[in-house]
Structures are given as C-alpha cells and as structure tokens.
Amino acid sequence: MKDIVVKGLCKSFKSRGKTITAVDDVSFYVTKGEIFGFLGANGAGKSTTINILAGLLTQDKGTVKLCGKDPYKDWEYVKNRMNVSTAYFPLSDVLTVRQNLRVYAKIYGVKDVEAKINQLLEDFELTALGDKRVNRLSSGERTRTALCKGFINDPQLLLLDECTVGLDPDIAEKTRRLIKEYQKRTNCTILFTSHYMHEVEELCDRVAFMEEGKIVTIATVDELKKRVTKHKVELTLAENGDDLKDLLKEEGLTVLAGRDNTLIFEVDVASDDVNTIVQQLVKQGLNLKDIHIKKPTLDDIFIHFARRKK
C-alpha cells in the first residue's frame, strides 16, 4: 500500500509580473511504513510540495492521494489519519502549551485528551512547561510543542518538516529516537525534511532530492553514496609534511588542505588504490604517523546536487 502518491504536481506563483514555477511536474510515492526523506536547497520546492500535501495550497496541475484517498474529496477521512509538525508552525502565543494541545486534540477528535497530552509532554520533556504561555517559550521549546501537536492524534501519515530546528543535541537525539520508536510501533508513514543530513541518514529508508522545482533523483542513502567516487584521505607524518605534498602532486593527486604535518587529499575509488599510494610513500622513506579515509556522507551528496549547476 502507498500512503502518498503524487503524480505530475505543478504549482506556480506570480511575483512582480513574472510567473515563478515552484513545483514542476513532480511525481513520487511513499509506501506504508516508510520514512521518506525529502531534500533540497532553499527554494527547491520542498515546502510548496509539503504545503500542497497538507492542504494549505492547491496545485495548478497533478493529483495527490493520501492514505489511499483524494484529500479534496475525502478530507475528513484523511485529516483524521495524518498530521504535520514543523518548527515554524504558528502556535497560539496567548495560550499555554497545554491549551494549544487541547485545541488540536479537539480538532482531531482525540479521546482521553488529558492522558494523551500528559504523555506527550513527558515524552518531549515539557511537563514543567505545560501551563506556560507559548510566547514565553524558547525556540527549542516551541519546536517540541509543535512535535507534540504532530503526534496528538496518533497519525497514520506524518509530515515532519525541519522538526528538530533549535533543539539541543540531546533533545534532538531523543526526538529522533521517539520518531523511530513510534514508526516501528505503529507502522506510520513519514515524510521527513531536514537540513541536518545525519538525521536523514539515520532515519530515512529512501531519499528524494529536489532542484529548481523538479525531483532529480530518488534512491536509498547507500545508493546515493555510491555516486560520489571521490574519497578524502588524511595523512599525518612524524616530521614535516612538505616532502609528502610534493610526492602526492607527483602521483597526480589533488591536495585539498594542509596543516603542520598533516595533509588532506582526494582519491578516486575507481582509479586510485590507497594502499598502493601509501606503500609508495613508505618506500620514499616517509614516516607515516596516522591515516584516515573519509568515505562520502549524505552531506557530500547534498552539496553535489546543490552545486552542480553553479
């Protein structure tokens, strides 16, 4: 079963007499129980797509199905099975944390409201702030309140947009753990966006990259990493590294940075054998103290897509 099916989605806006295409013929699907990463640089079209899925915008063209239904024809059905959480969600400033959550619990028809709210406040370490007005919360506390709102109705489909912005590292780690535990327990389908690539790498089954309103690729994280053939190697000598720099250049390798006795250079996994390179350096009489090989990360993939047309 597919909880999100998007086909041929298009959305344009008028700005200063010009038409700007924010979403251009976007198609993708997310299967039941999948955590699907939705990535791209600022202005790529992610937020517009998510706002269409959340019912905040209407597309110009294309179709959307959520939880197997057309959300425009069966909004009540879809609404009760999905939720949205974003760090930028406009909570009511004049209400307390608890009062905000009561409002959304009422909208979603939640039973045992107080018990549910108490559990969420405990999960996201907000119990002591439950009766505090939202306008007196820090940005991280607002983010956690928005996360409570996202889980208030035990959604079958959850849209998480930059949901850990402003969180302390320990709270962000706990939030990721809660997301994984909830997904595993309920088989919830999650559309996840973040600029923190380690979060995407940790959580997501597949990842889509958007660029200039289009999806340019969809793949698993491991599949994406294989597309970057350059690995970085950091070598440290027991003595001055000037001779090492000269030798690396003779080998045709690109030196990226150097400090004291350490040099960082790139190798192509398809053509360069790191072991052979190191053996050549040892034969030249260089005393190697340390070596570290850095394989591609999702950050490298993100930069690859973000910069390839610049």
* pLDDT at residue number 282: 73
- CB of 15 closer than 8 Å to CB of 78: no
Across 171-175, 202-206, 280-284, least confident range: 280-284
**Mean pLDDT across the chain:** 88
Q: Calculate mean pLDDT across residues 247-253.
A: 70
Does the pTM surpass 0.85? The reply is no
Nearest to 213 by CA among 5, 42, 31, 14: 42
Q: How confident is the model at residue 102 (pLDDT cuts 50, 70, 90)?
A: very high
Per-domain residue ranges for the chain? 2-225, 230-307
Q: What is the pLDDT of residues 134-181, one digit of tens each?
A: 999 998 999 999 999 999 999 999 999 988 988 889 999 999 999 999
Q: Decide which of 1 and 98 is more confident.
A: 98
The yes/no answer on whether domain 230-307 falls in CATH 3.30.70.270 is: yes
- CB of 167 closer than 8 Å to CB of 140: yes
How much of the chain, in percent, has pLDDT values that exceed 90? 58
Q: Is the pLDDT of residue 119 over 80?
A: yes
- CB of 9 closer than 8 Å to CB of 62: yes
Across 63-67, 117-121, 221-225, least confident range: 221-225
* pLDDT at residue number 307: 66
Q: Is the pLDDT of residue 224 over 90?
A: no
Q: How confident is the model at residue 287 (pLDDT cuts 50, 70, 90)?
A: confident
* pLDDT at residue number 165: 86
Q: How confident is the model at residue 298 (pLDDT cuts 50, 70, 90)?
A: confident
Fold of 2-225: Rossmann fold (3.40.50)
How much of the chain, in percent, has pLDDT values that exceed 70? 92
What CA–CA distance (Å, rounded) separates 134 from 128? 13
* pLDDT at residue number 308: 62
Q: Is the pLDDT of residue 310 over 60?
A: no
Q: Is the pLDDT of residue 251 over 80?
A: no
Q: Is the pLDDT of residue 271 over 60?
A: no
Q: Is the pLDDT of residue 225 over 90?
A: no
Q: Which residues, at least 6 apart from 63, have a Cβ–Cβ distance to it below 8 Å? A: 5, 6, 7, 8, 9, 70
Q: Is the pLDDT of residue 269 over 90?
A: no
- CB of 225 closer than 8 Å to CB of 298: yes
Q: Which residues, at least 6 apart from 51, have a Cβ–Cβ distance to it below 8 Å? A: 57
Cβ neighbours around 34 below 10 Å, total: 19
Burial letters 136-168, b for 16+ CB under 10 A, else e: ebeebbbbbbbbbbbbbbebbbbbbbbbbbebe
Q: Is the pLDDT of residue 270 over 70?
A: no
Q: Decide which of 159 and 272 is more confident.
A: 159
Q: Is the pLDDT of residue 309 over 60?
A: no
